[in-house]
Amino acid sequence: MTEYVVLEDFQVRYDEKELAERFRIRPGLKAERVLADVLATAGTLARPKAAFRIMSPEILDEGTVRFGEVVFKSGLMTSHLSGLNQAFPYVATCGRELAEWTAGLTGLEQFMADEVMLLALRQGVRQLEEYITSRCNLKQVSAMNPGSLPKEWPITEQTPLFRLMGDLPGRIGVALLPSLLMNPGKSVSGIFFETAEKYHNCQLCLKENCPARKAPYQGENLAL
């Protein structure tokens, strides 16, 4: 089974008060006006996008998974995808519209715009997850991402993932760079999969003070 979906109509909402608190901006400061201007422009430009495929994974052995003709090497993948008849390789981005605008900014504006792009990406990914869950009538899904865990699924697996995605990343304005990072930088790739218990990459990550941490380390308690 294989089909694909391209999504370009995500909604983005920014909470100016919440962002002001995050940036520790006191009322009356110049930074308050800078933030207002950044959000006004971002509100007209934010167009996060995503594309995903619905595919059947084939477990070849404890460290190898195949989707169609594309082979991945990852014990993490075999652990999560074993017994599933479908999974959802995807790419999502904040959108080139935001990225191209922020490329010309400097200083405080650039700092704030970087957070604005990240929020657009996160909202897009959340809506993508909700779309997949609803469309495929699933209770919940989790995601794994190449490079988030260097041992379990290294960044080099970006190459087969983008090969698997074909022309879909280009259709939403995402390119894989020789460094294996993506352009725009606020983009993410990975595989969504159905799961009974919510999984986060953080559960296997030892970076205790990471500001993006979503779950405590549980590596010793997870059988992969």
| Tens-place pLDDT, residues 174-187 | 999 999 999 999 99
Q: Are 107 and 31 in contact (CB under 8 A)?
A: no
Please name the residues in contact with 23: beta carbons below 8 A apart, sequence gap of 6 or more.
31, 35, 112, 115
For residue 82, give the 3-state DSSP assignment.
coil
pLDDT at residue 150, rounded to an integer: 79
Read off the tokens for 78.
């075999």
What is each CA distance from 150 to 19, 41, 100, 174, in whole angstroms?
A: 32, 37, 30, 22
| Tens-place pLDDT, residues 91-101 | 999 999 999 99
pLDDT at residue 31, rounded to an integer: 94
Whole-prediction pTM: 0.86
| Residue tagged 């991945």 (tokens) | 72
DSSP codes of every residue in 30-69: HHHHHHHHHHHHHHHH---EEEEEEE--EEEETTEEEETT
pLDDT at residue 4, rounded to an integer: 94
Please name the residues in contact with 32: beta carbons below 8 A apart, sequence gap of 6 or more.
20, 25, 26
For range 78-96, the mean pLDDT: 95
Domains of the chain by start residue, with CATH: 2-8+50-96+118-221 (3.10.196.10)
pLDDT at residue 153, rounded to an integer: 87
Please state the separation of Cα 167 from the chain's center in Å. Answer: 18
For range 121-146, the mean pLDDT: 95
Q: Are 104 and 38 in contact (CB under 8 A)?
A: no
For residue 181, give the 3-state DSSP assignment.
coil
pLDDT-derived band of residue 2, with 50, 70 and 90 as boundaries? low
